[in-house]
Amino acid sequence: MTLTEAQNLALVLKYGALPIPFKRVEQTNVSATLGKDSLSQAKTAALIALLIVGLFLVVLYRFLGLVAVAGLAIYAAFLYAAVLLLNVTITLPGFAGLILTIGVAADANVVIFERIKEEVRAGKSIRSAVATGYQKGFHTIIDANVVTVITALVLFAVATAQVKGFALMLLIGTVISLVTAVAATRAMLGLLAGFRWFANPRFLGASAEQHAKFLQIDFMRRRYVWFAMSGAIILFGAVSLGVQGLNLGIDFKGGTQVNFVAPKPVTQSQVVAQAAAIGRPDCVCQGEGKAYPNGGYTKFQMRMKTVTIAQQNKLTDLLRRNLGVTRTPDSRVVSSSFSSQIARSAILAVIVSLALIAVYITLRFDWKFSVPVLVALAHDVAITVGVYSLAQREVTTSTVAAVLTVLGYSIYDTIIIFDRIRENVPIMRRASFATLANVSLWETIRRSLATTFITLLPIGSLLIFGGSTLQDFAFALLVGILSGAYSSIFIAAPLLTIFKEREPEYRRRIGVDVIERGIGSRGSAPVPAAAAAAVAEANGEETDEPEPAVAGAGLAPGDGASSRSQAKRERRRQRRRTRPHGRAH
């Protein structure tokens, strides 16, 4: 609307037929120049994010990366079409959601490509590996993206108008990324699989040996070390919350916030003097950006108690006359009643999101899987809030949006790990659950790290190039996603192991470190320890001759295995390769 139209609407609301007095609860003024600058910064962040994500995919997956880049181009075209068809109004947080969905689209490709590389290492043809990779990766992608959609829907239902744009763009981008990853890239790979030059595993970055074997450590044995590290971080955050609390913005406290840009550096005392002239000497002034030698800044944020329209107009005149401000200041007014409503909505959104995620995980897996997921999500929220308190970053509605987004992204890696654990359960019938969880982590940790890193790339672009408006939002995402990657590996999986080891079936296997050949990155993982034979005989299963090995699941096999034992292992390995995990054709 124009200013005249907005004033006419206010008059209608105030003097219309309804006997309700008009009361201003929120007002936002964005000058054309500041809005243009913010849009330019968001566009720069989006282009740089798209470039570095595409470069990372090509470096990591070679020709598959080129296919993924083509899929991202198709995704961008579909997203642009959806914005036009649905007549979506792009807010600045909405632009942040658009940038973030670049990582969503790339994550789906990473999950599929890692599956394809596993099947290629197992000896399958490229065409068969592509088909099997999509078949096995599809359910994982669905589970992970459904959780993101849940958080986006909850955020859209309870958020304020500006954050609704972010939630809507995240929702649209997630759905479109699912279509492009499953349909577009699969069609391209299916077409290319018919060419002979495409059948070279090295061409796809799927050599026989998997790199980064230093990541294959005994995660479960050190579980209490990981718990202690997380506890220490959360304790520091709790102490900070008790001592200095959170730096709540006007979204939660109410008041007036004014942002302006001066043509030359001015000091904070000069800005405070202008606020005192309108009767607000308690104004909190904060310089932003580069600090000049005289202690001045050119960008300022002023926060004070709610001012009237007359006081706000007088402040604008004082800034222009005394400080030489030429651009109209960007201002926002939030009443105390509206801020309390936002706080209640934020708490409700977090609780509802956690409940819906727990229900979904219980339906897709088991309730014992949902408990570690909830603990890991609570861990991520606690660390994000604690870091915000330590850093004294301003908490706004965008911060709440970032925390809810973290709930969706944090569970992405957890679902990947839990899905592999579920696949390995019917295969590793003799191993303890700790060994089973370790092997599942070894098989998926490269994928988890890749999806985390590829999501951090667009967030880093937002943090560096997105401008002050989006930097706090990007900071919350950065902390939350790093915490989510940590909790998936070091909190959720060990907690699941503790729960499952209480079951009678796994209790009797505690301490049995047997890892069969063909498990753990398809033959590239560690091999059985000597304890396998005794457990297998007790279960009435076919046994192999024991191999000498040092204690621990991650050591190299002995050299004294008999030829008959080797033949038995080879026959079992061939049988596994010819059927999906745990199910016969």
Residue type, 459: I
pLDDT at 527 exceeding the cut of 60: no
Question: Is the pLDDT score of 125 beyond 80?
Answer: no
Q: Which two tokens stand for residue 410?
A: 């944090």
Amino acid letter for position 255: G
| pLDDT (average), residues 96-124 | 78
What is the pLDDT, as a whole number, of residue 551?
A: 36
Q: Which two tokens stand for residue 65?
A: 């990366």
- Given a contact cutoff of 8 angstroms between Cβ atoms, the answer to whether 461 and 45 are in contact is yes
Q: What is the pLDDT of residues 419-452, one digit of tens each?
A: 888 888 888 877 888 888 888 888 888 878 887 8
Question: And the tokens for 377?
Answer: 């999500």
Q: Enter the tokens of residue 528.
A: 């059985």
Q: What would the mean pLDDT of 339-349 be, rounded to a whole number?
A: 73
Neighbour-count burial of 89, counting CB atoms closer than 10 A to its CB (0-12 exposed, 13-18 middle, 19+ buried): exposed
pLDDT higher than 60, residue 541: no
Q: Which residue has the tokens 């609860």?
A: 25
Contact 130, 186 (CB under 8 A): yes
Residue 8, pLDDT > 70, answer yes
pLDDT beyond 50 at 30: yes
Q: What is the CA radius of gyration of the chain?
A: 28
Q: Is the pLDDT of residue 274 over 70?
A: yes
**How confident is the model over 495-520, as a mean pLDDT?**
70
Percent of the chain that is helix, strand, coil (3-state, to 5): 70, 5, 25
Contact 194, 130 (CB under 8 A): no
> CA 406 to CA 69: how far, in whole Å?
25
* Minimum mean pLDDT range among 43-47, 141-145, 235-239, 525-529: 525-529
Count of other CB atoms within 10 angstroms of residue 298: 17
CA–CA separation, 565 and 248 (whole Å): 66
Cα–chain-centroid distance for residue 237?
21
Could you tell me the two tokens for 104? 């969503």
**Mean pLDDT of the chain, nearest integer:** 75
Tokens read off for 286: 């904060």
Instruction: Give me the pLDDT at residue 160, please.
Output: 63
Distance CA 551, CA 344 (A): 54
Identity of the residue numbered 106? A
Q: What is the mean pLDDT of residues 540-559?
A: 40
Residue 577: the pLDDT is 53
Q: Which residue has the higher pLDDT, 67 or 182?
A: 67
Count of residues making up the chain:
585
**Contact assessment for residue 206 and residue 66, using Cβ atoms and an 8 Å cutoff:** no
C-alpha to C-alpha distance for 93 and 3, rounded to whole angstroms? 23
- 10 C-beta neighbours (distance < 10 Å), count: 12
Strand partners for 303? 257, 284
Q: Tens digits of per-residue pLDDT, 474-507?
A: 888 888 888 888 888 888 889 988 888 888 877 7
Which residues, listed in sequence order, are joined to residue 300 by a DSSP beta bridge?
260, 287
Which of 70, 101, 71, 103 is CA-nearest to residue 83?
101
Q: Is the pLDDT of residue 584 over 50?
A: no
**pLDDT digit string (tens) for 285-342?**
878 777 777 778 888 888 888 777 888 888 888 888 888 887 778 777 777 666 677 6
pLDDT of residue 531: 36
pLDDT of residue 228: 92
- DSSP summary character for residue 327: S
What pLDDT, on a 0 to 100 scale, did the predictor assign at position 235?
92
Asked if residues 148 and 174 have their Cβ atoms less than 8 Å apart, the reply is: yes
pLDDT at 203 over 80: no
Mean pLDDT along residues 118-145: 78
pLDDT value of residue 540: 40
Under the banding of pLDDT at 50, 70 and 90, the label for residue 393 is: confident
Going by the DSSP 8-state scheme, the letter that residue 335 receives in this structure is -
* pLDDT score, position 565: 66
Measured in whole angstroms, how far is the alpha carbon of residue 508 from the centre of its chain?
37
Cβ atoms 97, 169 nearer than 8 A? yes
Query: What band does 162 get if pLDDT is binned at 50, 70 and 90?
Result: low
User: Is residue 151 pLDDT above 50, yes or no?
Assistant: yes
Count of other CB atoms within 10 angstroms of residue 491: 26
